[in-house]
Amino acid sequence: MTHLLAGELLKVRTTRTAFGFAIAALLLSLATVLIVSLAGGGPETIRDKRAAIAFGSVISAVLLIYGVVGATGEFRHRTLAPAVLIAPDRYRLVIARMLAYGLTAGFAAAAIGAVVYLIGIPLLAGTSGPDLGGGDYLGVAVGGILASVLCAVLGVAIGTLVRNQVGAVVGLLVWIFVMEPLLSIPNANLTDYTIGTGAGVLGQGGNVDGTMAHAFVVLAAWTTLLSLAAVLLDRRRDVE
């Protein structure tokens, strides 16, 4: 498993895909902290100030798609066969890929979080209203990194299940931004258990929509369920 993980990490590092997604995630996070901190006189409540630095809720969607693109890229570029020839039992290969993407996402989230805090803390210091405490900063950082890791792993699971890159990315976006919100029509509480809400709330370290622990359990449950499905289904499939 160690060798497979080393190989998958090397694969992640040696294309521009990870770099491109990291840049996109960083720019989105910086735009969020700057807009929320500076627009309209700046945030005045703890909730709004946490939202300003909640990099995790911004980048988790990017990292989710990153995982999907990475996993589907194995099928798109036909790079799966050489890897399966090395690890023919397959499940270790999928798990190694999930770990590699999770680690990469965690590292990227920590780095992006550091930059966001470096810029956000001085900006928020100049705003009116109560200041964020150490617990707020810690909660947002831990939640942001956890959401990023889980979303990247979840993306790999979805990409492994769907295989078609365009179909997986479009389908995922439609599911999170169209279908999941529609679940509130029959029952408003259903959205508490969706991927989008789980990633969003966990990425902020908890908010009025839910606690960090609840969001973590929801997102971890989705990730575990779909990862298991991916591992089991992948073993039964032929490698094209």
Partner 1 sequence: MGEADGAIEAVGLTKRYGSVTAVDDLSFNVRAGTVTGFLGPNGAGKTTTLRMVLGLARPTAGHATVVGRRYADLDDPARMVGANLEVAGAHPGRSGRNHLRALAAMAGLPRSRTEEVLRLVEMDKAADRRVGKYSMGMRQRLGLAATLLGDPQVLVLDEPANGLDPQGIRWLRDFLRAMAAEGRTVLVSSHVLAEVAQTVDDVVVIHRGRMVRQGSVSELTMGGSVRVRTPAPDRLLAALDSAGLSVTRQDGDVLLVNAEDSARIGDLAHSAGVPLHELTPVSTSLEEVFLELTSDTGGIA
Under the binding rule (CB under 8 A), the answer on residue 84 touching partner 1 is: yes
Among 47, 78, 211, 225, indicate the residue that binds partner 1 (CB under 8 A). Answer: 78
Minimum gap (Å) between residue 52 Cβ and partner 1: 35
- Say which residues have a Cβ less than 8 Å from residue 134's Cβ, sequence separation at least 6: none
CA atoms of 24 and 236, how far apart (whole Å): 35
Query: Which residues in 55-75 are b (16+ Cβ under 10 Å) and which e?
Result: bbbbbbbbbbbbbbbbbbbbb
**Could you say whether residue 23 binds partner 1 (CB under 8 A)?**
no
Q: Would residue 210 be called left, alpha or beta, if left means φ above 0 and alpha means ψ between -120 and 50 degrees? A: left
| Torsion sign over Cα 76, 78, 79, 85 | positive
With CB under 8 A as the contact rule, the residue among 27, 31, 35, 86 that binds partner 1 is: 86
Instruction: Work out which of 45, 77, 118, 225 binds partner 1, going by CB under 8 A.
Output: 77
The first and second tokens of residue 115, run together, are 């930059």
- For position 10 contacting partner 1 by CB under 8 A, the verdict is yes
CB of 69 to partner 1, least distance (A): 12
In the chain the first and final C-alpha atoms are separated, in Å, by 23
Smallest distance from the beta carbon of 7 to partner 1, in angstroms?
Answer: 3
The answer to whether 166 contacts partner 1 (rule: CB under 8 A) is no
Residues 26, 14: Cα–Cα separation, whole Å: 20
Task: Tell the smallest beta-carbon distance from residue 78 to partner 1 (Å).
Answer: 5
Under the binding rule (CB under 8 A), the answer on residue 236 touching partner 1 is yes
CA distance 179 to 190: 12
Ramachandran angles phi, psi of 99, nearest 5°: -65, -40
Q: Looking at 79, 122, 211, 232, which residue binds partner 1 (CB under 8 A)?
A: 79
E-strand ranges in the chain read none
The window from 7-15, 41-49, 124-132, 211-219 that contacts partner 1 (CB under 8 A) reads: 7-15
The footprint of partner 1 on this chain (CB under 8 A) covers a number of residues equal to 27
In the list 35, 44, 88, 118, the residue contacting partner 1 (rule: CB under 8 A) is: 88
Q: Does 1 bind partner 1 (CB under 8 A)?
A: no
Q: Is 24 in the site for partner 1 (CB under 8 A)?
A: no
The residues that touch partner 1, with contacts defined as CB under 8 A, are 3-4, 6-8, 10-11, 14-17, 73, 77-79, 81-89, 236, 238-239
